[in-house]
Amino acid sequence: MTLMQKVERFRRALWTWRQPLTRRPLASAVPISDLFVWRNSGEWATSFELIDISGLFSDSEKDLNKHATLILFDQHGHQFLKKKLELLPGRRQTIHLAEFLSEAIGEMGTFAVFHSFSPPELEPIGSFLAERGYVSYRYRDAPLRAYVHGNLDAIALGADGELQLLGCSGFLRREYSLQHELLPGTVYELGMVNPTSKFQRCICKLVSVRRSKIMAVQVVNLHPGGIQMVPVRADKSEPVRLVIQSHLVMARPLVFRIQNFKLDVFHG
């Protein structure tokens, strides 16, 4: 191995050694979920599409009285509700989160969905049943909702009811560039979630596409399991790109894009 190859291997090790995107749960065969984002106010409503995922493997367990557990967290990652949801074999059901939320809790937070039954085929191959289904958002009573799929294996539920955040952070500060150009005349709101067990500080920089000049800087503080909604507007005269500096292995936000009161939502 040449000296340059050794230097390159060392350089990569600084960014990858013991720094996976997500950790494995401490126990085997436990259910996993993304940390989904909920929004609830006079302008926002959130729903979740719940299906019996284990039933996709086999219908031999259909008489086990399987269920899912919905856990809701506030903006700072504090759990405030745990609800058992009955599963409908072979059918989808829409869970309207407004039924479990109130103005006193706030206008945003995170939630997770854990399934009670894990197919026995998963444990021998070291896998887990993970819920990364679809969340929908309705903005200002629009007739159509915007849907987005789950993104990460973010949190696990142990047999004893203990929660384990699975997101990872590194000792070096990283940069994540939003994979979407922010255009003038459009309102963007970034849902930044912390899937790690440590407090995270993120620096959001708006950079001119044409001139590579920093146009604005925002600091975002994230509690473990919490969320911060970051409003962003592009410069009136030119598009900008967003660069997020943090210790998160991947600081990928949920992007709410609003133009002429029409909503689009996606992972950036």
Give residue 59's pLDDT: 59
Give residue 17's pLDDT: 58
What Cα–Cα distance (Å) separates residue 95 from each residue in 29, 70, 87, 124, 225? 25, 10, 11, 32, 21
User: Is residue 109 a contact partner of residue 75, using CB atoms and an 8 Å limit?
Assistant: yes
CATH architecture of 32-165: Sandwich (2.60)
How far is it, in rounded angstroms, from Cα 88 to Cα 84?
13
For the domain spanning 169-267, the CATH number is 2.60.290
Residue 14: pLDDT over 80: no
Q: Given the structure tokens 């500096």, which residue do they identify?
A: 245
151-199, pLDDT tens digit by residue? 889 999 998 899 999 999 888 899 999 999 998 889 999 999 999 999 9
What is the average pLDDT score of the chain? 89
67-120, pLDDT tens digit by residue? 999 999 999 999 999 999 999 988 899 999 999 999 889 999 999 999 998 888
**Mean predicted confidence (pLDDT) in 117-128:** 82
Classify the phi-psi angles of 72: left when phi > 0, otherwise alpha if psi is within -120 to 50, otherwise beta.
Answer: beta
Give residue 167's pLDDT: 93
* Both tokens assigned to 159: 């047999």
* Both tokens assigned to 217: 């800087």
Give residue 69's pLDDT: 97
Output the CA torsion sign for 114, 119, 124, 127: negative
Give residue 247's pLDDT: 94
Same fold, 32-165 and 169-267: yes
Domain range list for the chain = 32-165, 169-267
Q: What is the DSSP string of 42-99?
A: SSEEEEEEE--GGGGT-STTTTS--EEEEEEE-TTS-EEEEEEEE--TT--EEEEGGG
**Mean predicted confidence (pLDDT) in 205-221:** 91
**Which of the pair, 117 or 44, is modelled with greater confidence?**
44
Residue 21: pLDDT over 70: no
Give residue 8's pLDDT: 56
This model's pTM is above 0.95: no
